[in-house]
Copies of this chain bind each other. A is one copy, B any other.
Amino acid sequence: MSITFEVLHTCKQTGARLGRLTTPHGVFETPIFMPVGTQASIKTLEPSEIKEVSDGLILGNTYHLWQQPGEEIIKDHGGIRGFMDWDGALLTDSGGFQVFSLTDMRKITEEGVHFKHHKNGSELFLSPEIAMRIQENLDADIIMSFDECPPPYSSDDYMKESVARTLRWAKRGKEALTTNQTLFGIVQGGLNKDLRRFCAEELVKMDFPGYAIGGLSVGEKKHEMYEITKFLNDVLPIHKPRYLMGVGAPDDLIENIINGMDMFDCVLPTRVARHGTALTTTGKIVIKNQTYEKDYQPLDLLLQTKVSRYTRSYIRHLFKANEMLAMRLVTYQNLAYLKHLMAEIRCAIKEDRLGDYYQTMKKNTNYFKSR
């Protein structure tokens, strides 16, 4: 097995876990947030900047890179890391989520999924074996099983059938893997706890080195998501990492960390950045708003980064003027903030005061106000 994981401490206030994840390209404390480089680029940033605003573990998307530029070209570069010149650690998803979220005209068979390209409409096919082959060529440290990700409010019958198939696919992917990359199983089952337990227990029988939780943050309510992670906290083995896929809002991060989750990824911080929303230590800021026209303070009042040299007024101007630098600066800020938040959370776990930290964050920011 090419990664190891140990739980270093459990917060006495909350039960949140502090862990250590050792990969071939870096050792990381968990909980960790992984910025998303869908197309072998964390949008607008260079690898030197990604170093600054991440903990050194990022994510690439199999579906997108399989289509453009294609797995062969990435293989020629020695994988995504060589392709984008990233010398940190890397995780890829399996393409499953994109197949079910981006495409239509899907036909699911036992063998795999027939579907059409999300833009050019060409006929495509993905299966557990193909997803493994592509991920081998992309050469990430941690890779994912090919799964079906049904809508959260699918019928129990459909969910049951889907979970059974996802489990068979997980087994086939595990058997197909020819490298020593670390393959995680993915727990599906929607909002049905029995199915979630069944799926998790069956995956644990296959003995994966880590478990991802899929099918959350896909349209369900926040409390529904938290219920499932809280439930799975008691089902999943303690000494294996738990990766909650697609979660990156500050409130969701801390809630799910309290529910025992260790790893997170999400396009949220980089996506909202491009639309002019900054995540800061004092809360969310819609920097395009008129309010900031003559605000000569830095974007983040407390966190010192290279973005601190610019005023809110300047960054607002860049958005109004459609300057790409605007997106770049706020992308940097948002990832820097999440890195800072995760470091603070890890520190609070270590010191058994994550509950206090949670209350302070709730009081001092607007991240919890959307509920």
Binding site for B on A (CB under 8 A): 39-41, 43-46, 48, 64, 68-69, 73, 76-77, 83-85, 293-294, 296, 306, 309-311, 313-314, 316-318, 320-321, 323-325, 327-329
Contacts of A313 in B (CB 8 A): 69, 73, 76-77
CA distance A327 to B311 in the complex (A): 24
Please indicate the chain B residues that have their CB under 8 angstroms from the CB of A85 in the complex.
309-310, 314
CB pairs A–B below 8 angstroms (15 shown): A39-B323, A40-B314, A41-B321, A46-B325, A64-B321, A69-B293, A69-B317, A76-B294, A77-B296, A77-B311, A77-B313, A77-B314, A83-B311, A85-B310, A85-B314
Contact B314 A83 (CB under 8 A): yes
CA distance A296 to B78 in the complex (A): 12
Q: Which 4 A-B pairs have the closest CB atoms?
A: A39-B321, A69-B317, A41-B323, A41-B325
Q: How many copies does the complex hold?
A: 2
A73 x B41 contact (CB < 8 A): no
Residue of B nearest to A44 (CB): B324
Residues of B within 8 A of A39 (CB): 317-318, 321, 323
A64 CB to closest chain B CB, in angstroms?
Answer: 7
Smallest CB-CB separation from A45: which chain B residue? B325
Selected contact of A317 from candidates B73, B310, B323, CB within 8 Å: B73
User: Which of B40, B296, B310, B324 is A324 in contact with, Cβ under 8 Å?
Assistant: B324
Residues of B within 8 A of A328 (CB): 44, 46, 324, 328
Chain B residues with CB below 8 A from A329, complex form: 46
Cα A294 to Cα B72 with chains together (Å): 10
Contact of A296 among B44, B76, B310 (CB under 8 A): B76
Which listed residue (B68, B314, B323) contacts A43, Cβ 8 A?
Answer: B323
